[in-house]
Structure 1
Amino acid sequence: MPCTEIHSSFYRFVALSDPEGVAARLRELVAVGLGGNILIAAEGISGAVAGEPDVLQAFEAALQSDPLFGGAFAGLVFKHSACATRPFTLIKVHVKPEIVAFGVPGVSGLPAPERPDTHVAPARWRELLARPDVLVLDNRNSFEFKLGRFAGAIDPAVTHFRDFPAYVNEHAEAWKREGKTIAMYCTGGIRCEKTAAWMQDQGLQVYQLDGGILNYFQSMPEPEADWQGECFVFDKRIAIDTRLQETATSAEQVYAEEPPWRLARAKRLDPDG
């Protein structure tokens, strides 16, 4: 039978005083009918889940309104896409030191009102892509870049997100000498939340695509005018196109030039079932 599940991704950087308690309540809320992964840390929440529309709607409503969360997730933005393949077999809720591992001590994605806002909406992003003084920087792993990217984007050629700071440190002075403005993007926006403030501290002029690639595909007319290829997604659908539709690309194709452990790890994290 065709898959009728809906995929939902979300995150928020918000201070949580009791991550273990939040995780315990989430395990109760996702116990029936959902698959996916949710990460909880003192700095917030990040999740990708999928389920039948009514089940997913009930979970999203509970996440925003459950009294235990004290309004921490009220108004959370959910990015939805259809599924031809069931994205997840399992449901997991983990407590981690960070909801996205940047690896630089003291760097958090928590909002800092004293800093200039680096977020730009998709329409503004399209304008930045056309500016000659703007360097478009892909803040994802290299295998994701190879599958698809914004036209003219630069691949930092990193294997892990934690390698990204070293790349920036290597090039920051040259970018400043050249008067470059950095326009940075990732899949859903979460990696850029971590890196934007840190890059400002390096003296760089930085913008980040609000909501990432997925928001761009969802919000803009003719996103294919600016995007080349497909977008990798971290679930069993593997890749989607600019219309948020699953493609025929397989995990074996995506990881063909990667170390064998990448494919093995992907299959181990959520085995077929």
Structure 2
Amino acid sequence: MSDAPRHEHSSFYKFVALSDAERVAERLRELCRELGGNVLVAPEGISGALGGLPAALDAFELALVEDPIFESAFRGIQFKRSFCTTRPFTLCKVHVKPELVAFGLEGVSGLDDARTTHVSPQDWHQLIAREDVVLLDNRNSFEWKLGHFRGAIDPGVRHFRDFPAYVQAHAEAWKQAGKTVAMYCTGGIRCEKIGGWMSRELGLQVAQLDGGILNYFEQTGGEDWQGECFVFDKRIAIDPQREETATTAEQVFGDDPDEAWRLARARRLDPAG
């Protein structure tokens, strides 16, 4: 049994207008020196997943909120912590991108004024039990197969950019039936990005799980969850107690040729690193 200090994982995002994404990224690279992971910065905000010793994560999270170079842009950001047996990342990379989440529709921004209703983890159980609610998993099909909320629909998509077509194909039927679309994703960012478009362009009533599955696990222990939750780092999956499971990338992706590139990417993470 190793006596090495136990690492933790922190994921976060915030849609906020940034006038100088490159300047923000430069400062983040300085703040991440003791951590591993990936951070994206775009004119529409920030998204990140970092791993390291708890004290180093504490220092980073405090700086993100209070460092004057960020001009309070990240005040109120929500950090979701989970636990690690495997060190989740080896290196730290900070990238500047045109947008945080791309899903193939022009003119859609996470800064959209058409906001969805955010439902707390504590109120989620009551919402998804209603008969006038359709529960939609806003993730890829392989993630749904590993674990999902009871009664959640698998849209059957292999990439987030395929999700809008599924919603467009069902939107009218949902509206005619008077359904509210309750949707969720791992940390909340995919729902946040597409929710405004669903509401404004398709006229849907949309509610999203605040903070996603990770926040739900942290706040409730996962009473309505079945299975595990896929995470995009060396750990592969966590359980509702936010602990790493024994699930391997080979078990998640199997011999599906369409998912071979994901398996290859997971292997490149080098679990021994």
Q: Same fold (TM over 0.5)?
A: yes
SS of residue paired to 2:77 = coil
Q: 1:179 to 1:48 in 2, by over 3 A?
A: same
Aligned match for 2:24, one of 18, 22, 31: 22
Question: Map of 1:1-273 to 2, 5 A cutoff?
Answer: 1=2, 4-31=6-33, 33-110=34-111, 112=113, 115=114, 117-201=116-200, 202-220=202-220, 222-224=221-223, 226-256=224-254, 257=256, 258-268=258-268, 272-273=272-273
Q: 1:19 to 1:237 in 2, by over 3 A?
A: same
1:107-147 deviation line (CA, Å, top 9, x unaligned):
111152xx454111112211111111110000001000000
Q: Is the 8 A contact 2:135 2:153 kept in 1?
A: yes
Which sections of structure 1, spanning at least 5 residues, go unmatched? Answer: none
Q: Distance in 1 between matches of 2:51 and 2:71?
A: 24
SS of residue paired to 1:259 = helix
Q: Which is further off, 42-51 or 260-269?
A: 260-269
TM-score under structure 1 normalisation?
Answer: 0.94
Q: Is the 8 A contact 2:5 2:53 kept in 1?
A: no
Q: Distance in 1 between matches of 2:237 and 2:271?
A: 18
Q: Which amino acid aligns with 1:79?
A: K
1:23-77 deviation line (CA, Å, top 9, x unaligned):
111111112x200000000000000001111111111111111111111112321
Q: Distance in 2 between matches of 1:270 and 1:186?
A: 26
1:178-219 deviation line (CA, Å, top 9, x unaligned):
221110000000000011111112011110000001111111
Q: Distance in 1 between matches of 2:115 and 2:68?
A: 33
Q: Which amino acid aligns with 2:121?
A: P
Q: Distance in 2 between matches of 1:270 and 1:196?
A: 35
Q: Is the 8 A contact 2:116 2:199 kept in 1?
A: no
Q: 1:174 to 1:111 in 2, by over 3 A?
A: closer
TM-score under structure 2 normalisation?
Answer: 0.94
Q: 1:267 to 1:124 in 2, by over 3 A?
A: same
Q: Which amino acid aligns with 1:90?
A: L
Q: Distance in 1 between matches of 2:253 and 2:115?
A: 38
SS of residue paired to 1:110 = coil
Identity %: 68
Over aligned residues, Cα RMSD in angstroms?
1.5
1:230-266 deviation line (CA, Å, top 9, x unaligned):
0001111111111111111001111113521111123
Q: Distance in 2 between matches of 1:177 and 1:270?
A: 49
Number of matched pairs: 268
SS of residue paired to 2:12 = strand
Q: Is the 8 A contact 1:43 1:109 kept in 2?
A: yes
